[in-house]
Structure 1
Amino acid sequence: MYHFNSRNTFFKKPFGAVKETTTVTFTVTSKYETTTPFLCISKEGGREMRISMIAHYAEDGTKIFTADYTFDKLGLYFYCFKFDSGKYGIYNAGKGEGFITERGQWFMQTVYAKNFSTPDKFKGGILYQIFPDRFYESKGKEELAWPDRVYRRDKDGQPFFKWGENETQLINTDYYGGDLKGIMQKLDYLKGLGVTCIYLNPIFEAHSNHRYNTADYMKVDPDLGTTEDFTKLCSECHKRGISVILDGVFSHTGSDSIYFNREKRYGEGGAYNDPDSPYRAWYDFDKNYEHGYRSWWGFPTLPDVEELNKDYVQYICGKNGVINFWLKSGADGFRLDVADELPDEFIEKVRREVKHCGKNKLLIGEVWEDAVTKISYNKRRSYLLGKGLDSTMNYPFRTAVLDFIKNGDGHKFCESIFTIYENYPKEALDNAWNFISTHDTPRGITYLMGKNPDSGDRYWQSQQSVEGDDYKTASKMLVCAYALMFGLPGVPCIYYGDEIGMQGYRDPFNRGYFKWWDQDEYILKNIKWLANFRKSHHEYREGELFFVHASHNAVAYVRYEHEDEVLTAVNRGNGPETFTYKDKQYTIPALNYINAVIE
């Protein structure tokens, strides 16, 4: 029997992803077998290389086989161990364990750029996501900027979701009046919550309440405020130690925009109307497309752009471009919407401009899967290997946390977390955004206790809410989910309103106006406590992770740095659960969590 485990530094050192030119030592052991294996390594798309392993004996008679390999280029590598016969090898059985079989899955090794670094100031922090129209209105509005917008004075009213539900006959045209000045007025609330960074959904001029259909990248939407308001917001945030991240929607624009102008809101020009428009080359016009041009997922209101068109690149990434303008106006970074839709080359150009404006500026990408192994449009993506994104929205962590809290199976949870932990460059993982809810997902409390959102249409979703004893249980489940998330590597993110128990299935029900008049004190108190505990312990910033307990209903893990350790343990079950770590017993109450400093 041969032994190897990629997650144990006795067998593979150093652990996890490594920088270019790093030499990794691989070790295989056997108590009884004497045949020396070969280390077989292949860079993705390259040829297989065989490296002879050196055999020697340990004092107890165990035979130890070792080989060193220097990874000289970034990319994904795959490796296993084979024998002279060629019939059998040591392959990945899961959880890093090797097993002997005729054919199996190879182990994976991430190699990233040796100069890759990400901003330190975000590590160990707490992020708060704000959907600007729905957070806080600084003062009542007499009218909105355009007549085709509907002003919602009924702040507790449900967002419109049906065609023809309002006088515009459209959805996404109801506005609750939230604005930049309103966010400014609530900065002390955010500071009290422990927030160190806010991420704003799109603020640029656009003709929908979500503003993902950009009309003018160089203007704040007038119903949110002005460029001066944004600069003032950034200044007030910075005084409180809070950074500001903007949403960059660069894979498409709105059809109702100064660039495309299909609706002719902006006069007679625009790429749609004028073949000589300076923006014409941004778009792919072809009569074979359903609407005569390529659009995002076929939506005619979202014409795709040619991201590598030189004029478009200059407009976004140039000396006086969009990135430069907003970072100089006070922003601390960008989150790239639908990063999978953007070419790696374009993302790298964005990165260069972001870092030109300051090494401490952040670039995050929206990626829903493992960002290291991600394949989109039949191409392996390289945006997390040091030349593109600093990090990503960590959807795999969200899936793991919610699945465990809702359904159980701590072992599955540990494996899901550790897979990302092993695959991601540490610089990226320490800045990954870990969240329970976003504007694109059901709210955590609804997901955990509500019915499957796939079981009903929007009308059905509009009629659902969690009430009574179910709500009490759901609030405890949500707190447990946040307790798990707050201790994991990366930056925990609070979606506005989660901390007070707001509910809602998918868009638009997860985008209600913040209920300042109806707050769940149990959830709010616990999230404040978790934030304070996290900020009080440096181990959460860049410390290592290992799991110390897993069962169907409970998990426990430790974050450590040097000799300092902190413990996080969560129990989703209906009764207490006890485990032992370092000869000390810990009991997690039913449907609750504990945090402890390990002495």
Structure 2
Amino acid sequence: MYHYPLPEYRHADGGQLTVRLRLARDANVDQLWLRTEPDNEEQLTAMTKEQVDERWQWWSADVSLSDHEPTFLYCFKAICGDRQRWLDTTGVGPRAPKREHQFRWLLADHPPQWIHRQVFYQVFPERFRNGDQRLNVQTDAYRYHGEVATQSMPWGDDILATGDQAAFYGGDLIGVEQGIDYIQQLGATAIYLNPVFSSPSSHKYDTEDYLNVDPHFGGNAALADLCQQIHQREMKIVLDAVFNHTSETHPWFDRWQQHDNSGAYFTPSSDTRSYYYFYDQANADSYRCWKGAKTLPTLDWGNPQVQDYFCNPKSGVIQHWLNAPYHIDGWRLDVIHMLGDGPGAKNNATRMRQIRQAVKQSNANAMVLGEHFFEASRWLQGDQEDAAMNYFGFATPVRAFLAHQDVAYQPCRLDAEEFAAWLAEARNSIAFEHQLAQFNLLGSHDTARFFTLVNEHLPTMKQAVLMLMSYIGVPSIYYGDEIGLVGGNDPYCRRCFNWDETSWHHELRSWYQQTIALRHRLPALQRGAYATLYAQGDVFVFARIVEQQMLIVAINRSNQALEVNLDLSCWHHQASHIETLIGDGQLSQQQLLLSGYAATLILCQ
């Protein structure tokens, strides 16, 4: 039994949904039922055989959609003699599935359609490019955390083992604007910027002013100019939103008495004391902070004034940057799963919906992207996030399969079958529209660079890049990965971009450009359904399917040439044209020949 979230398998007309199922021509079934759950109660609708061709039989059923439920769930039930077979997102099984494994038809709150067409480029502004040296932070300009003096570092110098948060190399938004041509030449169409708002650190995750861009980045005018240039090129820009915590130097908190002495830390009667959570009101140091980091006091979102500051439909921070002259295209929400009322993440879902509403009220087509290192399906049910940074469903399993490490950099070797199961677990619990919008990445400012994790082994890095550009979801490139920039975990993953082209890994950069170009050219890589074709040992093969096109992506992790037999019944057409688009894999009939360390993409149409 085959069913995919594609128009030929399902489509809506007004309040009616038509669902189709494909079976092999010789499949023997006594009855076929479409199972739905209107008002959370089972309803079985008989399916009728509508068509039989040389290879397949097609069945369909029509059901009414409920206008008061954001997501419509369904699966398939087959009666075969005295046995049953059920089809859900995990495949065929003997019994009814859990709700989370049923197919989903979204009735509302679709992720914006532009997302899955993009290739993102993540920029850490302080380390990308110095566009105006007059803006540089000078040595001893101030003391970070009241202790560490700022250091002005020559561009490209080694990262400091300690004190990197107070080391400034001079990157700014003028430099980002100067780098747009380079980003476009690579093939990226959207830019995700790490935080840009006023902050005492180089990383800017400790915001002290949400309404002003850091002056050392060029201030608000630099961001306005950057946004204008990006939009003139029909590109997108997403900003980082750190709404869970502020800097200790934010005027609301003012730990080091740099403002008017009315901050929450020193003044229990302060108007902003209740913006934060103190475990002991008599002890100023008892404030809740992010993972014990005293530089990052956590906001109490149970306070209506905090909610209003960020979410007010006329004057809130969220709306401010979505409006003119910036018109940013979305927000990436830092550690959003930790945000909540009081001393923890209480009412997190309520606050997340509140943030989403604030974004969508200003621009219904803006992206709401959440940061999650682990499983995030509960934020991806249509009422909270459009997408999550897909560590759990992509970055971490790819790291385990190709670099043999887990998220904590501990040994973790997977075979292809285990790898496929991990990917499927993440996919199957969210709607297809959210799968297409998932923010796939190999690394970021919070992880070691992937080229470092694979010991700079180019064939393995090419496999990872091909996976990034072809797997379901939207790819994001961490600045410098494409030129072979290396570095271990934070802070070493935050080295300066080297603009000396003689230092670049040109073969790797060319591979990025080729695979990005294929992604832009081939609709199946942007919006195609997914099917695993083969997953055993060191070989992983999957397909992306849309309309008259199937793309086969094959990875051979071993150094030995291999031949595997593929079951291509996921695609109901017969290919009249087969072409290897990249790599050296060869497909003949259903036999796939792969060289050692193969990374290949094959077109069937």
TM range (shorter): 0.7 to 0.9
Superimposed CA distance per residue, residues 187-239 of structure 1 (whole angstroms, 9 cap, x where no aligned partner): 10000010111111111111211111111111111211110000001111112
Measure the CA separation in 2 of the matches of 1:181 and 1:47: 54
Residue 153 of structure 1 and its aligned partner are, at CA, apart by 3.1
The reply to whether residue 437 of structure 1 matches residue 434 of structure 2 is no
Partner of 1:370: 375
Mapping of residues 169-318 of structure 1, within 5 Å = 170-287=163-280, 291-318=285-312
Q: Does the 8 Å CA contact 1:252/1:302 hold for their aligned counterparts? A: yes
The reply to whether residue 96 of structure 1 matches residue 91 of structure 2 is yes
Measure the CA separation in 1 of the matches of 2:597 and 2:309: 52
Q: Does the 8 Å CA contact 1:134/1:176 hold for their aligned counterparts? A: yes
Q: Match of 1:132, as an amino acid? A: P
Query: Which is further off, 494-503 or 363-372?
Result: 363-372
Q: Does the 8 Å CA contact 1:21/1:114 hold for their aligned counterparts? A: no
Partner of 2:317: 322
Measure the CA separation in 2 of the matches of 1:314 and 1:484: 42
Partner of 2:154: 154
Partner of 1:526: 511
Residue 500 of structure 1 and its aligned partner are, at CA, apart by 1.3
Partner of 1:417: 423
The change in CA–CA distance for 1:33 and 1:82 in structure 2 (over 3 A counts) is closer
Aligned pair partner of 2:541 in 556, 563, 570: 556
Measure the CA separation in 2 of the matches of 1:416 and 1:175: 40
Partner of 2:528: 543
Residue 82 of structure 1 and its aligned partner are, at CA, apart by 13
Residue 485 of structure 1 and its aligned partner are, at CA, apart by 1.5
Q: Does the 8 Å CA contact 2:177/2:226 hold for their aligned counterparts? A: yes
Q: Match of 1:394, as an amino acid? A: N
Q: Match of 2:159, as an amino acid? A: P
The change in CA–CA distance for 1:268 and 1:525 in structure 2 (over 3 A counts) is same
Residue 414 of structure 1 and its aligned partner are, at CA, apart by 2.4
The reply to whether residue 390 of structure 1 matches residue 386 of structure 2 is yes
Q: Which structure 2 residue ranges, 5 or more long, are not aligned?
A: 53-58, 144-148, 340-347, 404-412, 569-574, 576-587
Query: Which is further off, 180-189 or 257-266?
Result: 257-266
The reply to whether residue 124 of structure 1 matches residue 124 of structure 2 is no
Measure the CA separation in 1 of the matches of 2:108 and 2:482: 38
Query: Which is further off, 474-483 or 354-363?
Result: 354-363
Superimposed CA distance per residue, residues 475-524 of structure 1 (whole angstroms, 9 cap, x where no aligned partner): 22111101012101111110111111122221111111112232111211
Secondary structure, in 3 states, of the residue corresponding to 1:550?
A: strand
Q: Match of 1:546, as an amino acid? A: A
Measure the CA separation in 1 of the matches of 2:301 and 2:181: 39
Q: Does the 8 Å CA contact 2:563/2:594 hold for their aligned counterparts? A: yes
The change in CA–CA distance for 1:110 and 1:339 in structure 2 (over 3 A counts) is farther
The reply to whether residue 403 of structure 1 matches residue 400 of structure 2 is yes
Partner of 1:354: 359
Q: Match of 2:492, as an amino acid? A: F
The change in CA–CA distance for 1:282 and 1:80 in structure 2 (over 3 A counts) is farther
Q: Does the 8 Å CA contact 2:449/2:493 hold for their aligned counterparts? A: yes
Measure the CA separation in 1 of the matches of 2:600 and 2:463: 10
Q: Does the 8 Å CA contact 1:27/1:67 hold for their aligned counterparts? A: no
Secondary structure, in 3 states, of the residue corresponding to 2:182?
A: helix
Secondary structure, in 3 states, of the residue corresponding to 1:270?
A: coil
Partner of 2:138: 143
The change in CA–CA distance for 1:390 and 1:446 in structure 2 (over 3 A counts) is same
Residue 272 of structure 1 and its aligned partner are, at CA, apart by 2.0
Secondary structure, in 3 states, of the residue corresponding to 1:218?
A: strand
Residue 172 of structure 1 and its aligned partner are, at CA, apart by 1.4
Measure the CA separation in 2 of the matches of 1:432 and 1:504: 25
Aligned pair partner of 2:594 in 588, 592, 598: 588
Residue 119 of structure 1 and its aligned partner are, at CA, apart by 1.7
Q: Does the 8 Å CA contact 2:540/2:554 hold for their aligned counterparts? A: yes
Q: Does the 8 Å CA contact 1:25/1:69 hold for their aligned counterparts? A: no
Q: Does the 8 Å CA contact 1:23/1:71 hold for their aligned counterparts? A: no
The change in CA–CA distance for 1:302 and 1:20 in structure 2 (over 3 A counts) is farther
Secondary structure, in 3 states, of the residue corresponding to 1:123?
A: helix
Partner of 1:62: none
The change in CA–CA distance for 1:528 and 1:216 in structure 2 (over 3 A counts) is same
Q: Does the 8 Å CA contact 1:339/1:367 hold for their aligned counterparts? A: yes
Measure the CA separation in 2 of the matches of 1:20 and 1:110: 18
Residue 21 of structure 1 and its aligned partner are, at CA, apart by 9.0
Q: Match of 2:547, as an amino acid? A: H
Aligned pair partner of 1:340 in 313, 320, 337: 337
Q: Does the 8 Å CA contact 2:4/2:529 hold for their aligned counterparts? A: no
The change in CA–CA distance for 1:152 and 1:480 in structure 2 (over 3 A counts) is farther
Q: Match of 1:227, as an amino acid? A: N
Partner of 1:487: 470
Measure the CA separation in 2 of the matches of 1:147 and 1:556: 54
Q: Does the 8 Å CA contact 1:283/1:305 hold for their aligned counterparts? A: yes
Q: Does the 8 Å CA contact 1:54/1:66 hold for their aligned counterparts? A: yes
Q: Match of 2:157, as an amino acid? A: G
Measure the CA separation in 1 of the matches of 2:388 and 2:176: 25
Measure the CA separation in 1 of the matches of 2:484 and 2:387: 28
TM-score of the superposed pair, with normalisation by structure 1: 0.79
The change in CA–CA distance for 1:537 and 1:363 in structure 2 (over 3 A counts) is same
Q: Match of 2:388, as an amino acid? A: T
The change in CA–CA distance for 1:129 and 1:265 in structure 2 (over 3 A counts) is same
Q: Match of 1:296, as an amino acid? A: W
Mapping of residues 30-179 of structure 1, within 5 Å = 73=69, 95-99=90-94, 108-109=101-102, 114-140=107-133, 141=136, 143=138, 146-148=141-143, 150-162=150-162, 170-179=163-172
Q: Does the 8 Å CA contact 1:123/1:430 hold for their aligned counterparts? A: yes
Q: Match of 2:395, as an amino acid? A: R
Q: Match of 1:445, as an amino acid? A: F
Q: Does the 8 Å CA contact 1:500/1:523 hold for their aligned counterparts? A: yes
Measure the CA separation in 2 of the matches of 1:82 and 1:488: 31
Q: Match of 1:402, as an amino acid? A: R
Q: Does the 8 Å CA contact 2:356/2:384 hold for their aligned counterparts? A: yes
Identity over aligned pairs, percent = 26
TM-score of the superposed pair, with normalisation by structure 2: 0.78
Q: Does the 8 Å CA contact 1:91/1:107 hold for their aligned counterparts? A: no
Measure the CA separation in 2 of the matches of 1:39 and 1:192: 48
Partner of 2:491: 508
The change in CA–CA distance for 1:537 and 1:261 in structure 2 (over 3 A counts) is same
Q: Match of 1:305, as an amino acid? A: L
Matched residue count:
545
Q: Match of 1:199, as an amino acid? A: Y
Measure the CA separation in 2 of the matches of 1:230 and 1:197: 15
Secondary structure, in 3 states, of the residue corresponding to 1:244?
A: strand
Residue 534 of structure 1 and its aligned partner are, at CA, apart by 0.9
Secondary structure, in 3 states, of the residue corresponding to 1:506?
A: coil
The change in CA–CA distance for 1:294 and 1:94 in structure 2 (over 3 A counts) is same
Q: Which structure 1 residue ranges, 5 or more long, are not aligned?
A: 60-64, 163-169, 373-380, 450-470
Measure the CA separation in 1 of the matches of 2:499 and 2:126: 14
Measure the CA separation in 2 of the matches of 1:221 and 1:385: 35
The change in CA–CA distance for 1:281 and 1:113 in structure 2 (over 3 A counts) is farther
Superimposed CA distance per residue, residues 235-286 of structure 1 (whole angstroms, 9 cap, x where no aligned partner): 1111222211100011111111122111112231222233443422211223
